[in-house]
Structure 1
Amino acid sequence: MTTTEFGRALRLRRDRVSPEAAGLPAGGHRRAAGLRREELALLAGVSVDYVTRLEQGRAAHPSAQVVEALVRALRLDTEERAHLFRLAGLVPPGPDTVPAYIPPSVHRLLDRLAGTPAAVYDAAWTLLLANPPYAALMGDPSHWRGPERNSVWRNFVGPGSRARFTAAERRAFEAALVSDLRATTGRYPADRRLGQLVEELRARSDRFDELWRADAVGRHEAARKTIDHPRVGPLVLDCDVLGVAGHDLRIMVYTAEPGTRDAERLALLTVLGTQEMAT
């Protein structure tokens, strides 16, 4: 298979996906019903220039991560996902790797949570998809690349998040993340990317290495968090983690108790964030 065939397949699928189907507003004059290149690039987290080069056959050998991101952006089913991987000269990910495929039903779920911050993570806590309210609450993740999209990496060696913790809460949160990640490595021992992530974290973070050597296995689940937002101030929110049966995905949802100042601030920043993204 050639990159020209990949580019043609990518263009055909971009043309047939409407903005509404991809969770985008359809306003403004459009020459075609499908996605614009810049819209696909935004959804997939790659540059417009790279999408152009892929479609024109000038970019060779897209990585599995890029193909997976394009699959998610185009909301392809499992057969079309496998087809796009093969056109890129890649073997579709098998059962021994951490699943990154988001079924259409989960895409629709996030579309309907228009006023609720929600995001989809894989089993290794890599961010796959975030809706506009989540981006407004936690910061726009569209420019994050590589390990920056992984919550474990961000909390141990990266910039962290907007969540505020006491010292005790921080220790418990870190322990839960590491024990969860260790459980994931037990389910996917042959996943090379997962192994490389653990190796890098152990090499760069003494705290991660200490927790990893403790050999605890568990799950990171629901918690109440204080989010320090730069525009609306602190919000105390419930953070629930929902599992997607059969796909080993996690949906993280933030909600506020009705009638509270936190609920008012959450509604305000959701509106502000949506307006900024539309602009």
Structure 2
Amino acid sequence: MRPEDVGLSSGIRHRRVAGLRREELAPLAGVSVGYYTRLEQGQSPNVSDEVLDAVARVLRLDDDEVAHLHRLARVARARRKVRPERLRPGIRLMVESFTEVPAIAVGRRGDILAWNRPAHALLAPHWVFDGEEKPNFVRLDFLEMDFSRGLYVDWEQKARDDIAYLEGSLSRFPGDEGLTALVEELLALSPEFHALWTEHPVSNCASISRDYRHPCVGVMTLTAELLRTPDDEGQGVTVFQAEAGSPSQERLRRLTESVTRPGLARPADR
């Protein structure tokens, strides 16, 4: 936000960082500068919803960003160690029950906890399907970029969605040391991750349409629906589907059939 966006004079010509200064934002939200500073520093865990909504209004946050702000404001109270991620057998069976479309169980850190064969063929065919270790989709996208840039037509948007997923997990599970370690690892190893992380994109990642460029069947537009499992901290099941009757649905069908009938998929229709 710029001062001109909220009816203020630009005042300072050269600002060290982008955005409104505390002295500009606090009065617009109806709080003192001192109170807003303590809020920024995590020293006001009992802040009211009304104050947070006022800050969100000034900053023109969307619904996902407002929810993220409310979670961040309560981080100090929520900072507890979380249980190690364990996939319930029923969730694994759910993923395996999808035979016509790709499906994965994904954890709060972006780990693929279970996948079916269509998902393996779509997302990471160079990994061993039934190996003990499965990929983390954020590591895959930022540390195996030769592969990921080839798979995603709009790699930068996929990368931002990855970071938004981690941002959401961090606000929900601030005590997850493995999650913090993953972010630190990617900041150190990937300049692309480092650059995008500073933008702090926020999204609930519940429903995303994306173009995939698969080497066997060509470009497909698929919608990924993330179904949260409330009894499992931060986990969910993602199902990938194409619009009925579309060329993408036909290509997805060919990809799925090729998993059990090798050689069936023809060269990609460009």
TM-score by length of 2: 0.58
Q: Which residue of 2 aligns with 1:186?
A: 171
Aligned in 2, Cα 1:214/1:264: closer, same or farther, shift over 3 Å? closer
Partner of 2:85: helix, strand, or coil?
A: coil
Q: Tell me the CA shift for residue 197 of structure 1.
A: 1.2
The reply to whether residue 163 of structure 1 matches residue 148 of structure 2 is: no
Distance 1:263 1:109 in 2: 22
Q: Report the equivalent of 2:103.
A: 118
Structure 1 residue 149 corresponds to structure 2 residue 138: no
Asked if the contact 1:224/1:238 (under 8 Å) is kept, the reply is yes
| 1:97–1:188 Cα contact (<8 Å) kept | yes
User: Quick one: distance in 1 between partners of 2:153 and 2:141?
Assistant: 12
Higher-Rg structure is: 2
Question: TM-score of the superposition, structure 1-length normalised?
Answer: 0.56
Contact 1:179–1:219 at 8 Å: present in 2 too? yes
In the superposition, relative to structure 1, how do residues 256 and 99 fare at CA in structure 2: closer, same or farther (>3 Å)? Answer: farther
Offset from partner CA, 1:163-212 (integer Å, 9 cap, x none): 3234xxx4433223213212312333333322221111111223322333
Contact preservation (8 Å) 1:182, 1:212: no
Task: State the AA in 2 paired with 1:133.
Answer: P
Structure 2 counterpart of 1:226: 211
Post-superposition Cα deviations, 1:75-111, rounded to whole Å, max 9, x if no partner, equal xxxxxxxxxxxxxxxxxxxx82365222233223223
What whole-Å deviation, never above 9, does each CA across 1:214-234 have from its counterpart, x for those lacking one? 445443232222222222222
Alignment gaps of 5+ in structure 2: 1-79, 263-270
| CA deviations over 1:229-279 (Å, ceiling 9, x no partner) | 222222222222211112121212111112222212211211111235xxx
Shift >4 Å, 4+ stretches: 143-146
The equivalent residue for 2:259 is 273
Match for residue 104 of structure 1? 89
CA distance in 2, matches of 1:111, 1:215: 34
Q: Percent identity?
A: 25
Q: Distance in 2 between matches of 1:128 and 1:209?
A: 26
**Aligned amino acid, residue 87 of structure 2:** I
Aligned counterpart in structure 2 of residue 195 of structure 1, from 180, 187, 190: 180
Aligned length: 178
Task: Kindly provide the amino acid, as one letter, of the partner of residue 156 in structure 1.
Answer: F
Once residues 195 and 249 of structure 1 are traced to their aligned partners in structure 2, the CA distance between those partners, rounded to angstroms, is: 17
Q: Secondary structure at the match of 2:94?
A: helix
Unaligned 5+ runs, structure 1: 1-94
8 Å CA contact 1:157, 1:205 repeated in 2? yes
